[in-house]
Amino acid sequence: MSEQPSRRTVLRVAGVAGAGVAAGGALSACSGSSATQGAGTAATTAVANAAGALAKTADIPVGGGKIVDKVVVTQPVAGTFKAFSAICTHQGCTVTSIASGKIDCACHGSVFDAATGAVITGPAARGLAEQKISVADGSISLA
């Protein structure tokens, strides 16, 4: 018959393992690696596709946009729709508003171009990742 580990040993091992998982998750959330960004994009695509259309074209104002899940949909000029990740590249906050051709992140003040996703004002150093979309029958969906 094998000896059972003490309760103290089980709790100590679980605590160390839990701390490692928490630290790994925190580090990957702050990571700027393309592997992390790719995983986020794939997850965003899966969530949005499962829900169907992101938005109706009529709901996206010219010069403005709408945040849906982790995607920001914009209409920089009449009839042209764009989509970008809604996750700010500075520290991972979700952008908060779209108006006058700009996407704002209220966490630290980053501003992005609603037509290209490029950084207008930092602290973000990289633009928002563009998402492929399709527009059909008045609906906008991830492609």
- Is 0.75 surpassed by the pTM of this model? no
In this structure, what token pair is assigned to residue 72? 């920001």
Q: Is the residue at 131 inside a domain? A: yes
Mean of pLDDT over the chain:
74
Q: How many domains does the chain have?
A: 1
27 compared with 9, residue with greater pLDDT: 9
Q: What's the whole-number mean pLDDT along residues 18-37?
A: 38
Is pLDDT of 22 > 60?
Answer: no
CB atoms under 10 Å from CB of 138, counted, come to 11
DSSP 3-56: PPPPHHHHHHHHHHHHHHHHHHHHHHHH---HHHHHHHHHHHHHHHHHH--SEE
**pLDDT value for 86:** 93
Place of tokens 């207008």: 120
Q: Is the residue at 4 inside a domain? A: no
Q: What angle do CA 11, 29, 71 make, to 5 degrees?
A: 135
**pLDDT value for 122:** 87
**pLDDT value for 29:** 40
Q: Is the residue at 123 inside a domain? A: yes
**pLDDT value for 48:** 40
How would residue 120 be classed by pLDDT, with cut points 50, 70 and 90? Answer: very high
Q: Is the residue at 11 inside a domain? A: no
Q: Is the residue at 2 inside a domain? A: no
* 70-81 residue pLDDT tens: 999 999 999 999
86 compared with 22, residue with greater pLDDT: 86
**pLDDT value for 113:** 93
Tell me the residue range of the domain where 126 lies: 31-142
Q: Is the residue at 57 inside a domain? A: yes
Is pLDDT of 46 > 70?
Answer: no
Domain with residue 48: its CATH number is 2.102.10.10
**pLDDT value for 121:** 87
Q: Is the residue at 111 inside a domain? A: yes
Q: What's the whole-number mean pLDDT along residues 35-54?
A: 45
Q: Is the residue at 129 inside a domain? A: yes
